[in-house]
Amino acid sequence: MLFLQQQWLRQRLFVLGSLVLGSLFFLVAREGTLDRLQLICPIKDKLSPAGSSGQIPLHTLQRKQALHLKLHRRNSTREQLRMHHLIKQLPRAIIIGVRKGGTRALLEMLSLHPAVVKASQEVHFFDNDENYDRGVDWYLKKMPFSFPHQITIEKSPAYFITEEVPERIFKMNSSIKLLLIVREPTTRAVSDYTQVLEGKERKNKTYNKFEELVIDTKTCEVNTKYKAVRTSIYTKYLEHWLKFFPIEQFHIVDGDHLITDPLPELKLVEQFLNLPSRISQYNLYFNATRGFFCLRFKFMFSKCLAGSKGRIHPDVNLSIKEKLQRFFHPFNQKFIQITGRTFNWP
Ligand code: A3P
């Protein structure tokens, strides 16, 4: 009798153990790494209660977004997409730059909002003459499917510094919302340099040191011909954009803040886009291995940005760094004065 009871107990324990192990294997397989597994557990801040975006209640939008993802993953046909009332819409907001400001992180984080759909690739419609000549229908085709009450956002950082772009965007939609994400100008220049350096190294090519490029050897002054320096003179480009759009149509995102504490920056963007506040602490978690915030959408879906985001920068000679910071200072002051945003820049 005792033997039978023990056997029964052993069987139960075996079934229970298999269930626990099975669940664990499922979680590990789904999330890919143990690191992520740990991070999906402590959910401090659940998704906010239902509200409205436009006229659609949030829970409807969330269900629609899940459906949208499902259809997208299954490579559904156009007819299937149309049946679910999915359409292509021109962007109502564009992340115009700046290169290495954190444009990818901003787009990915915004697309956690149930009312936002992103164009995954950089479209380069307004800065590339060949693309622009293909017409706005070509541009529309490049947009993802979305529900009518969702807004589409695309990002092409080259827009900010390309002369023809503001006028071209204005001609398409004069009331479009423009998002500009900036970082401390010297850091951005180093990041820009690091990206180019990595490209050269991949092709086994040699490249100058950062210090050699940013300083004009003849004058010993900052080399404004070097593109990485020019791109960091934000006010110069912004003033050109202001010939076409009023400052109210721009929202400036602090890219350094987006790295260290993304949620407050995202809340400001939600306000600017007239969207209900839906991105929450739950959607973002700090990944110590990556050293950056990563994204989480609903239970179990999580991702970090690709390794090309968050590169290790080379050490820069301190006096050159300070020289650059002094060079950018007056331009920064002008930028701050125009935009009304303040930064923790030197
Ligand atoms: P670094 O590679 O210099 O660190 P962009 O997408 O415009 O090219 O910007 C790239 C920068 O986004 C990266 O520059 C990185 O610092 C920043 N970034 C901001 N948030 C990030 C995040 N959550 N994950 C990775 N990179 C992020």
Q: Is the pLDDT of residue 52 over 70?
A: no
Q: Is the CB of 156 under 6 A from ligand 1?
A: no
Please give the share of the chain, as a percent, with pLDDT higher than 90. Answer: 73
Looking at residue 15, what is its pLDDT? 57
Task: Give nearest CA residue, ligand 1 atom 4.
Answer: 310
Would you place residue 96 in the very low, low, confident or very high pLDDT band (cuts 50, 70, 90)?
A: very high
**What does pLDDT average to over the chain?**
85
What average pLDDT does this structure show over 217-240?
A: 97
319 has a pLDDT exceeding 80: yes
Q: Whose CA is nearest to atom 20 of ligand 1?
A: 259
- List of residues 6+ apart from 122 with CB closer than 8 A: 154, 155, 156, 157, 158
Poorest-pLDDT segment among 58-62, 233-237, 250-254:
58-62
Atom of ligand 1 nearest to the CA of 313: 3
Beta bridge partners of 327: none
Instruction: Please tell me the distance from the alpha carbon of residue 96 to that of residue 177, in angstroms, as a whole number.
Output: 10
**What's the pLDDT at 85?**
80
186 Cβ inside 6 Å of ligand 1: no
Q: What is the mean pLDDT of residues 240-246?
A: 98
Say yes or no: CB of residue 235 within 6 Å of ligand 1.
Answer: no
Q: Binning pLDDT at 50, 70 and 90, where does residue 20 land?
A: low
What's residue 301's pLDDT? 79
Nearest to 63 by CA among 73, 78, 71: 71
Torsion angle in degrees (nearest 10) through CA of 316, 319, 320, 326: 130
Cβ of 292 less than 6 Å from ligand 1: yes
> What is the end-to-end Cα distance of the chain in Å, rounded?
81
236 in contact with ligand 1, CB cutoff 6 A:
no
- CA-CA distance, 61 to 113, in Å (whole number)? 10
Q: What is the C-alpha separation between 140 and 138, in angstroms, rounded?
A: 5
Tokens matching residue 57: 């209640």
180-194, 224-238, 286-300: the lowest-pLDDT one: 286-300
* CB 346 near ligand 1, within 6 Å: no
User: Residue 82 — pLDDT band, cuts 50, 70, 90?
Assistant: low
How far does residue 31's CA lie from ligand 1's centre (Å)? Answer: 23
309 CA → ligand 1 middle, Å: 5
Average pLDDT over residues 306-328: 97
Helix (H, G, I), strand (E, B) or coil at 327: helix
Could you tell me the pTM of the whole model? Answer: 0.82
From the CB of 196, is ligand 1 less than 6 Å away?
no
Per-residue confidence band for 284, with pLDDT thresholds at 50, 70 and 90: very high
What does the DSSP assignment read for 262-313? HHHHHHHHHHHTT------GGGEEEETTTTEEEEEETTTEEE---TTSSPPP
Asked if the model's pLDDT at residue 40 lies above 50, the reply is no
Would you say residue 262 has pLDDT above 50? yes
Show the DSSP H helices in the chain as ranges. Answer: 2-31, 34-40, 58-73, 78-83, 103-110, 129-133, 136-141, 165-172, 185-202, 210-214, 227-231, 234-241, 255-260, 262-272, 318-339
Residue 308 Cα, ligand 1 centroid: separation in angstroms? 8
For residue 148, the CA-to-ligand 1 centroid distance in Å is 31
So what's the pLDDT on residue 61?
53
- CB burial of residue 158 (10 Å; 0-12, 13-18, 19+): middle
Atom of ligand 1 nearest to the CA of 294: 23
Is the pLDDT reported for residue 42 higher than 50? no
CA nearest ligand 1 atom 3, residue: 191
CA of 315 to the centre of ligand 1 (A): 18
